Amino acid sequence: MSFLIRRNRIWYLYEYQSRKLVGRTLKTEDKETAKEYQRKHDENNARKHLNLPLKDVSWKEFVDRYMTYSQANKAHESILRDTKTIQSYNQICPIEIVEEFNAENLERFKAARRENGLMASSINRDLNTLKNMGTKLAEWGYTLNNPVKNVKKVPMQASKVRFFDKKELALLLNKTSGVWREFVVMAINTGMRRGEILKLTWHDINMSERIISVPATKTYKLRLWGYL
């Protein structure tokens, strides 16, 4: 706790920091003004100690700011995912102020998503977004630390990679026809994902070099596939 001392008609605020007495001038002769500054100073220190938000802000106001950040820095698919994740969180854990965005509520959200039968990978993608929001709370000065930093992700079972053999590939090709067969052939020979194939344009295909460019990735990095 701090205390006030008046010197030469000016009020000063003193407090102990690491057992050392530290003081500062409040640049005011008015006692009530000095007491109000002291009250706010002590309240802010208490909120830091309890890791509570340092700014009074509604959850909606913070979400709006986060989505503005998301739209300026993320790919379209990531923006849509952020929007859906926040909508799901608001349905399961409706909160009014950022102080209520904490580890307990995030654990409740995680448990509800598991009860709804979502895959661990889907839940973890939601947690990535929400934990990143906690990081931004601290970065933007709303709280001293990320309040959901220590929430653990859902454990995922290690999956063994399995490749089709020649008989299976032949069976797959025999079961497809028309444009879908072209998609399957492209996927087999390049390893491209479904979304990458569907987004291709003729501009992305270099027939002379037998190369396909895939620019639309979430990391904004250009990838090149050799098309056999």
Domain of 63, CATH number, reads 1.10.150
- Residue 182 to residue 53: CA distance in whole angstroms: 55
Residues 180, 115, single domain; the answer is no
Asked if 70 and 106 sit in the same domain, the reply is yes
- One domain for residues 129 and 195: no
Q: Is 151 inside a domain boundary?
A: no
Q: Please count the CA atoms within 13 angstroms of the CA of 65 that sit on its side-chain side.
A: 14
Is position 54 within any domain? no
pLDDT over threshold 90, residue 218: no
Verify that 111 and 175 share a domain, yes or no: no
Residue 79 pLDDT grade (very low, low, confident, very high; cuts 50, 70, 90): very high
Q: For all residues of the chain together, what is the average pLDDT?
A: 85
Residue 154 is assigned to a structural domain of this protein: no
Number of domains in the chain: 3
pLDDT of 70 reads 95
| Alpha helices per DSSP H over 50-165 | 59-73, 76-92, 103-115, 120-139
Q: Are residues 96 and 35 in the same domain?
A: no
Q: Is the pLDDT of residue 55 over 80?
A: no
**Residue 193's domain spans which residues?**
166-226
Domain boundary among 30, 49, 68: 49
What pLDDT score was predicted for residue 228? 42
What would the mean pLDDT of 152-175 be, rounded to a whole number?
Answer: 85
Whether residue 196 is found in the same domain as residue 177: yes
The answer to whether residues 125 and 74 belong to one domain is: yes
Q: Tally Cβ neighbours within 10 Å of residue 81.
A: 19
- In this prediction, residues 51-80 reach a mean pLDDT of 87
pLDDT of residue 226 exceeding 60, the answer is no
The answer to whether residue 215 sits within a structural domain is yes
